């Protein structure tokens, strides 16, 4: 009986051990990627506005009634195109009157010149008094002056007549017509506006800390000063997910705005395709500091433990080990790791939630750091 009970107990123990081995879970599958090591250049981000390189508020140079509006609102015009015509009749009459005065002045000059010449001849023979000779000379000089004044009045009248045709001073896109035919306008009346199109400016404000950092980089020779050389910028509009447009900084203001603590900067962009319009919101990236041999990881691999950041790395034994890290800035879609990782480390980028404790065995699959899709099985659990 004792022998039978002992055999039963031993058999039960063997069955329990076999059941325990069969119920052990397999190592969790995770995706790992080797840290990226490369030289990076950081891009500082700012917000700004698109502005036209040239912008004109068109006003007439002479007063009068608008005879016709000679353009379609919103169309692109060339420099010199006639946009508004002011009633020309008063100015044609003024020009005719000035030309008549000019003809009268020319005739008087001819007469006084002849009289002065005869007086000079008579003066040689003392047949005319000195006083009369001086009067003839004075009359000739006065006539010459009146001729110059008459010519100036003709020039002014011609200018005023030309100014009745209000022309586009620059090429660009026109705005809304602020007056219509029949309205009386003066030289203070706005007619419309024109903005240039071929290039645009992006105005943005850099904070004081960034400005001081750029200045220090220029002094150390790490990057040329934006005042001396054009610094590259990348620009994105409100509808863009990235920064597809390229430009250059062409102006830095001469003083800091004390109320806002910012420095005005300006970039220029090509706009031959017409994708930019003045007033648009713009996101601007300005080339900043760089880092040599920086270690980068996918931001999705970074985990948080209260106020500490960490990642899991897979060692040569296929075990997941915790590494506390210090984060840097984003660069080219990846996160710079300032400390905690070394070149060659394999970081868990997917499946970290399956790791319950450090040192846990995992089944790792190799992925690319910037494209975390499994490609090759790296290791198996031991």
Residue 376 has pLDDT above 90, yes or no: no
Q: What is the pLDDT of residues 204-243, one digit of tens each?
A: 999 999 999 899 888 888 888 888 888 899 999 999 988 9
Element (H, E) at 336: strand 334-339
pLDDT of residue 371: 56
pLDDT in tens, 287-343: 877 777 889 999 889 999 888 999 999 998 989 999 999 998 887 788 889 899 999
CA dihedral 304, 305, 306, 309 (to 10 degrees): -50
Q: What would the pLDDT profile of 147-194 be if each residue is shown by its tens digit? A: 999 999 999 999 999 999 999 999 999 999 999 999 999 999 999 999
Higher pLDDT, 376 or 80: 80
Our CA dihedral for 92, 98, 99, 103, rounded to 10 degrees, sits at 160
Beta bridge partners of 132: none
User: Which stretch of DSSP H or E encloses residue 121?
Assistant: helix 89-124
pLDDT of 196 above 50: yes
Distance CA(53)–CA(247), nearest Å, equals: 14
Q: Which pair of tokens denotes residue 76?
A: 């692109």
**What's the CA gap between 299 and 27, in Å, rounded?**
24
Give yes or no for a contact between 312 and 345, defined as CB atoms under 8 angstroms apart: no
Domains of the chain with CATH codes = 25-40+293-379 (2.40.420.20), 43-54+201-290 (2.40.30.170), 55-86+165-197 (2.40.50.100), 88-163 (1.10.287.470)
**CA-wise closest residue to 96 among 9, 32, 160:** 160
234-293 pLDDT tens trace: 999 999 988 999 999 999 999 999 999 999 999 999 998 889 999 999 999 998 777 778
Residue 8 has pLDDT above 90, yes or no: no
Q: Which two tokens stand for residue 184?
A: 């009386």
pLDDT at residue 10 tops 60? no
pLDDT at residue 1 tops 60 = no
Tens digits of per-residue pLDDT, 103-160?
999 999 888 888 777 777 776 767 677 777 778 888 888 889 999 999 999 999 999 9
Segment holding 202, helix H or strand E: strand 199-207
């Amino acid at each position: 009986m004792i022998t039978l009970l002992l055999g039963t107990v031993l058999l039960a123990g063997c069955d329990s051990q076999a059941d325990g081995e069969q119920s052990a879970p397999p190592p969790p599958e995770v995706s790992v990627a080797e840290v990226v090591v490369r030289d990076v250049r950081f891009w500082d981000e700012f917000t700004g506005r698109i502005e036209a390189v040239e912008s004109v508020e068109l006003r007439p140079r002479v007063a009068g009634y608008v005879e016709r509006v000679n353009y379609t609102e919103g169309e692109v015009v060339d420099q010199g195109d006639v946009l508004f015509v002011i009633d020309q009749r008063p100015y044609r009459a003024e020009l005719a009157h000035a030309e008549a005065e000019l003809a009268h002045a020319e005739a008087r000059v001819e007469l006084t010149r002849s009289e002065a010449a005869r007086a000079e001849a008579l003066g040689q023979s003392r047949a005319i008094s000195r006083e009369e000779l001086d009067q003839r000379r004075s009359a000739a000089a006065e006539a010459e002056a009146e001729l110059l004044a008459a010519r100036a009045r003709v020039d002014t009248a011609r200018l005023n007549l030309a100014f009745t045709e209000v022309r586009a001073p620059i090429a660009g896109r026109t705005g809304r017509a602020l007056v219509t035919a029949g309205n009386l306008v003066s030289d203070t009346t706005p007619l419309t506006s024109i903005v240039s199109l071929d290039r645009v400016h992006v105005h943005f404000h850099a904070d004081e800390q960034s400005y001081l950092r750029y200045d220090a980089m220029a002094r150390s020779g790490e990057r040329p000063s934006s005042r001396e050389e054009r610094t590259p910028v990348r620009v994105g509009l409100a509808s863009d997910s990235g920064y597809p447009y390229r430009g250059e900084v062409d102006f830095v203001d001469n003083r800091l705005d004390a109320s806002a603590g910012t420095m005005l900067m300006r970039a220029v962009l090509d706009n031959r395709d017409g994708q930019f319009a003045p007033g648009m919101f713009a996101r601007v990236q300005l080339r900043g500091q760089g880092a040599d041999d920086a270690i980068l990881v996918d931001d999705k691999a970074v985990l948080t433990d209260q106020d500490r950041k960490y990642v899991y790395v897979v060692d040569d034994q296929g075990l997941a080990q915790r590494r506390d890290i210090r984060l840097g800035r984003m660069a080219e879609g990846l996160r710079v790791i300032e400390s905690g990782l070394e070149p060659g480390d394999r970081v868990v980028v997917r499946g970290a939630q399956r790791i319950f404790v450090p040192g846990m065995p995992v089944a790792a699959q190799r992925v690319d750091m910037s494209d975390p899709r499994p490609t090759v099985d790296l290791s198996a659990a031991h």
